[in-house]
Amino acid sequence: QVQLVESGGGLVQAGGSLRLSCAASGRTFSMYHMGWFRQAPGKEREFVAAIKWSGGSTYYADSVKGRFTISRDNVKNTVYLQMISLKLDDTAVYYCAGSRTNFYTPIREPDCWGQGTEVTVSS
């Protein structure tokens, strides 16, 4: 399994932008489908976005389509989540996750998780 470490969270005003990064250890990163989930206070964790191992396909929750972009760099063993036009409802702890198998069609529990990075959107 890969070990995942997120970074890039913080406090941002509504309408602002933020980019999250997830650094993976291990030589098999390029074989992993990767994604982002989030958990807002008092709510269940939800799927945000995913990207195929090759980077050729991406998937998004309806709530973030057009605002969030997931990408990956298999040389740097890193997956990114670019977030623009942030809303108050985007406030959550964001988790990087990965799996050797497809976990996004349909949504399933990935095998590997990071520790999370907190994003707070203020008005």
Q: What burial letters (b/e) apply to 44-74, b meaning 16+ CB within 10 Å? A: ebebbbbbbbeeeebbbbeebeeebbbebeb
Question: Has residue 24 got a pLDDT over 90?
Answer: yes
Length, in residues, of the chain: 123
Question: Has residue 26 got a pLDDT over 90?
Answer: no
pLDDT, mean of residues 22-26: 93
Q: What is the pLDDT of residues 43-99, one digit of tens each?
A: 999 999 999 998 889 999 999 999 999 999 999 999 999 999 999 999 999 999 999
